[in-house]
């Protein structure tokens, strides 16, 4: 039986908020998230390097928009590099090593930078419960038993939710399932029994494998930020355009975060436009 740790503050025990901050727009924060921000003494930020420095700036912008200056501290640490060349059977161990390296950093930050009666927070893009490692890493730190703390989770607006909202559509259709997966999994084949598939973490534009099928795509990059790019339409007609604008954006910024929905069309049904 797994005991869920409570969120009530215990005297002398550090408290952590894991706050979903949305896909990039400061207006994506929920009222619950804003309350958690104002309750925080120390914000822990992992810096991914100069190329992605604007991700740190977006977090600063969110704090500037919602929290009074001088009421908190911000502590930054360098995010460990992950072995992105690992594939096949080596993929999961590589991710495990990266998470453990992150756990080392989290453990140190909480132990050294957070007082026993203080509250810290990790600001998580989108929703902490969807394709994010923070919760698992915090559990690993707790299992080590070196630094006690309690934590709670504030849900956020995920890039998936923001994507379909921006395209004015829904994730699923009446009486049909929807599946959220990764580019790595999509490369193994279109999921059976599912016509609506959301794909995240796809660095290789795996949707190109399915341009011979009657599928619409709803694609977005940098969703919720000033750099947001959207495209939609029949996959066969839209894939090349997406590939071009994606390459241009990546070249311009040095990185890209994109998400898309693939929707298989019933026979005789027209495609999306956008």
Which of 84, 21, 83, 78 shows the shortest CA–CA distance to 50? 78
Residue 6 has pLDDT above 80, yes or no: no
Task: Return d(Cα 141, Cα 268) in angstroms, integer.
Answer: 54
HSE of 270 in the Cβ direction (CA atoms, 13 Å)? Answer: 2
Task: Return d(Cα 185, Cα 199) in angstroms, integer.
Answer: 9
pLDDT of residue 96: 79
**Bridge partners of residue 262, in order along the sequence:** 197, 217
For residue 116, count other CB atoms closer than 10 A to its CB.
11
pLDDT tens across 139-152, in order? 999 999 999 999 99
pLDDT of residue 84: 57
pLDDT tens across 69-102, in order? 899 999 999 888 766 565 566 667 677 788 899 9
Contact between residue 257 and residue 246 where contact means Cβ atoms under 8 Å apart: no
- Please report the domains of the chain, with CATH numbers, ordered by start residue: 14-157 (3.40.1010.10), 160-264 (3.30.950.10)
pTM of whole model > 0.75?
A: yes
Query: Which carries the bigger pLDDT value, residue 85 or residue 182?
Result: 182
């Amino acid at each position: 039986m797994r005991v869920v740790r409570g969120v009530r503050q215990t005297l002398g025990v550090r408290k952590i908020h894991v706050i979903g901050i949305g896909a990039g727009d400061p207006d994506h924060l929920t009222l619950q998230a804003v309350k958690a921000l104002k309750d925080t003494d120390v914000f822990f930020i992992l810096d991914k390097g100069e190329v992605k420095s604007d991700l740190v700036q977006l977090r600063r912008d969110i704090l500037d928009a919602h929290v009074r200056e001088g009421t908190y501290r911000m502590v930054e640490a360098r995010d460990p590099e992950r072995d992105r060349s690992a594939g096949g059977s080596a993929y999961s161990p590589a991710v495990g090593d990266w998470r453990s390296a992150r756990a080392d950093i989290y453990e140190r930050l909480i132990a050294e930078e957070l007082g026993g009666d203080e509250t810290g927070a990790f600001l998580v893009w989108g929703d902490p419960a969807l394709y994010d490692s923070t919760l698992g890493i915090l559990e690993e730190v707790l299992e080590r038993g070196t630094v006690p703390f309690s934590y709670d989770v504030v849900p956020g607006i995920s890039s998936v939710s923001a994507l379909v909202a921006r395209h004015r559509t829904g994730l699923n259709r009446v009486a049909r399932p929807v599946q959220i997966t990764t580019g790595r999994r999509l490369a193994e084949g279109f999921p059976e029994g599912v016509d609506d598939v959301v794909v995240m973490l796809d660095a290789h534009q795996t949707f190109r494998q399915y341009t011979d099928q009657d599928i619409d795509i709803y694609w977005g990059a940098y969703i919720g930020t000033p750099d947001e790019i959207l495209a939609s339409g029949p996959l066969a007609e839209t894939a090349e355009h997406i590939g071009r604008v994606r390459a241009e954006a990546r070249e311009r910024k040095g990185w890209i975060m994109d998400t898309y929905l693939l929707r298989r069309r019933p026979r005789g049904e027209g495609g999306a436009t956008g």
